[in-house]
Amino acid sequence: MRRRITQPTATVTARTAAALGAGCATLLVVLTACGSPSAAHAPSAPSGKNGDTPPGASVPRGEGSRTPDDFNGDGLRDLVIDDLVKAPEDSHGDDAGIGVVYGSEARGLDPAARQLLSAHANAAKSGDTLPAAFDAETACDLDRDGFTDLIVSTDPPYNGIGTPPVPLQILFGSPAGLTGRAVTLRIPQKARFGNDWPQQPVCGDFDGDGRTDLAVTAGGGRVSFLRGPFTRAGAPRAAESLPGGGPYLYAPGPKADTNGDGYDDLVHATRPHTPGAAAKATLLLGTPQGPTRPGGTYRFEAAEVPEAPLRTTGATGATGTTLLARADFDGDNKADTAVRTHRGERQDLIALFPARTPGRPLITFSTALFLR
């Protein structure tokens, strides 16, 4: 049931992985700065209970914007990170949560302006039960207030009888970022089909009315089409079940409207795809009725990742480097690249490479900073 947020993730070359992962022999430190001295001196946010950053304590307050992935509405793109580094004593426990690093005009991202989202602090209950899983899925402004909202997946209890509960929840953005409790996404029964779990949420204006909709998997090769805007209770303006979908849904890129007709489109596949890797799928074109018109074959393009100018040793190595996002973080209207080198559950390195100087990161840091 688990899937990552739509900021694309893709395995990159072994040479890049070795260079990124080996650049810092001291990744156990909370904040690492290889090639970006300013990152080493970035102030840390005050710590709250269980290591959570107090909501809004270090997040710049915004007034709303149309920038994608801008949870605090200050006009700067933010970064969402799943699978955070865990403390040694929690290495076999529940997920560490979801990390959010907020945007910075100077460096693209400011690790000091961060929030830790967890099931304990932020998830909605299913009856009297809090979920154990709390994973980022996708992000968009569902209620049209100028603050991006985050859709997460959870694991509500289910006895296997009848239609399963909806595992998707919405955390609404605000001037202080993502705060408070999520609400469960409401999918009317008429928009569901069969007894499959609703999964793979994809944002887009599929009916061309200027409002953000959601497409979610349904059973039997159908799509639950949820028309926006959404209420703060998680309910869509309207909903229906559409034919033609598959068990895996994706947003096309880099443009959601692939043919320029004013309607965002939807990609569906019969097997999971590693975003950023080359592959073929099927396109559903948007219409006033939603994503219903067959659009033929869709080709996922392979992602290119810049080489990192970091020293290579055999001392630290790396178990894998992934592409976190290709988007404009520094405001020059060019796609920057955020990558992550991960080594086990206790060490990682995130680097943001600007489009103008792809070989030199603007900033580097470890998600271990969320343990503070």
Please provide the DSSP assignment of 27-80 as one string. TTSSS--SS-HHHHTPPPPPP-GGGPPPTTSSSPP------TT-TT-SSS--EE
Determine the pLDDT at residue 86.
Answer: 78
Whether 44 and 58 have beta carbons less than 8 Å apart is answered as no
Is 201 a residue whose pLDDT tops 50?
Answer: yes
Determine the pLDDT at residue 357.
Answer: 86
Q: Is the dihedral of CA 189, 194, 196, 198 positive or negative?
A: negative
| Residue whose C-alpha is closest to residue 175's, from 274, 61, 79, 67 | 61
Is 74 a residue whose pLDDT tops 90?
Answer: yes
Q: What is the average pLDDT across 29-42? A: 34
Determine the pLDDT at residue 233.
Answer: 98
Determine the pLDDT at residue 277.
Answer: 84
- From CA 343, how far away is CA 347, in angstroms rounded? 5
Is 188 a residue whose pLDDT tops 90?
Answer: yes
Determine the pLDDT at residue 8.
Answer: 39
Q: Which residue has the higher pLDDT, 37 or 161?
A: 161
pLDDT band at 9 (very low <50, low <70, confident <90, very high): very low
pLDDT band at 170 (very low <50, low <70, confident <90, very high): very high
pLDDT band at 184 (very low <50, low <70, confident <90, very high): very high
- From CA 75, how far away is CA 21, in angstroms rounded? 32
List C-alpha distances in Å: 13 to 208, 305, 306: 39, 8, 10
Whether 298 and 252 have beta carbons less than 8 Å apart is answered as yes
Is 321 a residue whose pLDDT tops 50?
Answer: yes
pLDDT band at 302 (very low <50, low <70, confident <90, very high): confident
103 contacts: CB under 8 Å, gap ≥ 6 = 70, 74, 76, 77, 78, 109, 110, 329
Structure tokens at 128: 């009297």
Q: Which residue has the higher pLDDT, 253 or 55?
A: 253
Alpha helices per DSSP H over the chain: 14-22, 37-40, 119-122
Determine the pLDDT at residue 124.
Answer: 97
Structure tokens at 61: 């307050």
Determine the pLDDT at residue 5.
Answer: 54
Tens of pLDDT along 229-251?
A: 999 999 999 999 999 888 999 99
Whether 173 and 179 have beta carbons less than 8 Å apart is answered as no
Determine the pLDDT at residue 29.
Answer: 32
Is 370 a residue whose pLDDT tops 70?
Answer: yes
Structure tokens at 134: 């709390």
Determine the pLDDT at residue 341.
Answer: 86
Read off φ and ψ for residue 88, nearest 5 degrees. -55, -40
Determine the pLDDT at residue 245.
Answer: 86
Q: Which residue has the higher pLDDT, 358 or 218?
A: 218
Determine the pLDDT at residue 343.
Answer: 75
Please name the amino acid found at residue 297: T
Share of the chain above pLDDT 90, in %: 63
List C-alpha distances in Å: 211 to 133, 134, 144, 233, 236: 29, 26, 7, 17, 11
**What's the chain's average pLDDT?**
83
Is 52 a residue whose pLDDT tops 50?
Answer: no
Alpha carbon 41 to chain centroid distance? 27
Among the listed ranges 57-61, 209-213, 239-243, 302-306, which one has the minimum average pLDDT value?
302-306
**pTM here?**
0.84
Whether 157 and 127 have beta carbons less than 8 Å apart is answered as yes
Tens of pLDDT along 119-129?
A: 999 999 999 99
Q: Which residue has the higher pLDDT, 229 or 308?
A: 229
pLDDT band at 318 (very low <50, low <70, confident <90, very high): low
Most confident of 35-44, 51-60, 250-259: 250-259
